[in-house]
Chains A and B, each alone.
Chain A
Amino acid sequence: MLYQPIDAVATAPRQPVRLTVMQGQARVSGDPRVELTTVLGSCIACCLFDPTSNVGGMNHFLLAEPTNGRGVDEHYGAYLMEVLINEMLAYGASRMALRAHLYGGANMHSGMTRIGSANAAFAVDFLEQERIPLVRSSLGGVLARRADFRPAHGQARFRFVDETFAPQPAPVPAASRGDVELF
């Protein structure tokens, strides 16, 4: 499931709720108990926060690798950023008030395409084009990261982790890409 609403998480009052954001997902919440977490290798996690509504969310994406001499395919990243923004707005966030954190984009294996750098460049460019201020980031390098984000508070933290904790990059799902339905 791409987008998972998390209002209905069954838990005791005030007990922290830790939810993992997998590659290809976007999760949004205004619940102060919720902490979103993910482990990143070459992938990017964008955390968005609206301080006027105390709503936040995180996505986790990986762009498709270049093929046939073309650049990276930015469609999937743009799509998952739009999914996150739309869900933020559905939760009452204001587009103009959004603030962003970015994490990930490591190039963990020498000799491979520097897909981590391409992911990071895309994410930074996206925020600039959409005029969403980037307030904090940790991008690039060669180490995997764990990123934790409290969406209702806009508080993020990260730490470097052993690459064995980072998920293997999975192919971008393309089964339903661009499906057309004429009425």
Chain B
Amino acid sequence: MMTSPNAATRILTVDDSATMRSLLRHALQSQGFEVAQAEDGVAALDWLASNDCDVIITDINMPRMDGFGLIERVRAGGPHVHRPILVLSTEFSDEKKARARSAGATGWIVKPFDAEKLAAAVRRVTH
């Protein structure tokens, strides 16, 4: 039986839009990834407190804690401090990208996302 090369990779996606979470789950699972989801930065940190993942994909504009706050908190220390973090956002200004990079983001992906490009980016930052 063939096993997907992505099967061992667990991704935490963070987005406040239920529609976007559904699209992300379907796209990533169809590429063979294991997917966990949170609706904002606070929920993501709660999940990370007792779980692990190989890469985090986060939106920027979210209630309670936005993507910048999440990146800063993860990079501040703890077991996930070196995990790759990809931003997935409708935003694309150089200012926002520079802020994400300064906070410790690994990369930036512009919505609407393409499932194959997203999967390729995940493989690049996890291998």
Contacts and interface: CB of A to CB of B under 8 A. Distances in A.
Interface of A: 74-76, 78-79, 81-83, 86, 89, 95, 125-126, 129-130, 176-183
A130 B19 contact: yes
Contacts of A78: 17, 19-20, 23, 112
B107 A183 contact: yes
B114 A183 contact: no
Interface in B102-127: 105-114, 117-118, 120-121, 124-125
B58 to A, nearest CB: 14
Across the A-B interface, give the 9 residue pairs with the lowest CB-CB distance, nearest first: A178-B114, A79-B112, A75-B112, A182-B107, A178-B117, A129-B18, A178-B113, A180-B121, A183-B101
Contacts of A183: 100-101, 105-108
Given A126-B19, A129-B22, A79 B111 contact: yes
* Size category, B interface: 20 to 34
A89 B109 contact: no
Interface of B: 16-20, 22-23, 61, 63, 90-92, 97, 100-101, 105-114, 117-118, 120-121, 124-125
B90 A86 contact: yes
Nearest to B114: A178
B113 A177 contact: yes
B127 to A, nearest CB: 13
B110 A82 contact: no
A126 B18 CA distance: 8
Nearest to A182: B107
Contacts of B109: 178-181
A82 B112 CA distance: 10
A55 B118 CA distance: 34
B17 A130 contact: yes
Given A74-B19, A129-B22, A130-B17, 19 more contacts: A78-B20, A79-B90, A79-B111, A82-B17, A82-B20, A83-B90, A95-B16, A130-B18, A178-B112, A179-B109, A180-B117, A180-B120, A181-B97, A181-B107, A181-B108, A181-B109, A182-B106, A183-B105, A183-B107
A32 B17 CA distance: 29
Contacts of A95: 16, 63
Nearest to B91: A86
Contacts of B125: 182
Nearest to B27: A75
B97 A129 contact: no
B90 A179 contact: no
